[in-house]
Amino acid sequence: MKVTIVYDNEVKKKELKPGWGFSCLVETESASILFDTGADSPTLLHNMRELDIDPKNIGTIVISHAHGDHTGGLSGILKMNENVEVYIPNSFGKAPSAKVTRVKQAAQISENVFSTGELEGIEQSLAVKTDKGILVIVGCSHPGVGSILKAALGFGNLYGIVGGFHGFRDFNSLSGLALICPCHCTQYKEQIRALFPERTLECGAGMVIEL
């Protein structure tokens, strides 16, 4: 299983463009899933080209929540791949395409990939089963990192978390995780790195996590 950060505030490769938003590509043996789409299509598509990611090969898009820094690139992807399946939280407004599934309760997206369901009426996250445990992938963690981890625990033992943590500061909730990758909107990145230096990765577009 591989996760590639496609869109983030920071970049790991000079040829990539940063932007206030988040997107990552989750690749398993059976699926290619784009989680969120950043804030704009030009930056998202530029980074995808540089990372050798073909939008036409993406089978599924999962949108964590309806905020523009996670949905801005969606229209550009849909123009290039009109057959892609899109999973949106139930609270999302108008459906962005014909092939849309609204998610309210926990649901299976593909083999070994699950949605936590829409938590707190605003946001869904992914729980990906790996040989090391569940990798949780989050957008902005508006429901709270603790609540998301609790929901993901229903799919198995937790291994790690990747994505935006927003203003989360209950750092004890992270103590049992082997991998912590705070991205995008996380306000306390430095504190998290100081507390868990050997387990925390510095996020940025172009970073790849393989499990």
DSSP string computed for 27-56: E-SS-EEEE---S-HHHHHHHHHHTT--GG
Question: What average pLDDT does the segment 67-79 reach?
Answer: 97
What CATH number does the domain containing 104 carry? Answer: 3.60.15.10
Beta strands 32-35 and 60-62: pairing type?
parallel
Residue 148 pLDDT: 98
pLDDT bracket for residue 97 (50, 70, 90): confident
Per-residue tokens: 118: 């829409």
How does DSSP classify residue 10? S
Report field, pTM of the whole predicted structure over 0.95: yes
pLDDT bracket for residue 163 (50, 70, 90): very high
**What is the domain range of residue 189?**
2-210
Residue 42 has pLDDT above 90, yes or no: yes
Domain count, the chain: 1
C-alpha dist (Å) from residue 94 to 55, 73, 117, 177: 22, 16, 19, 37
Residue 98 has pLDDT above 90, yes or no: no
Q: What is the pLDDT of residues 99-108, one digit of tens each?
A: 999 999 999 9
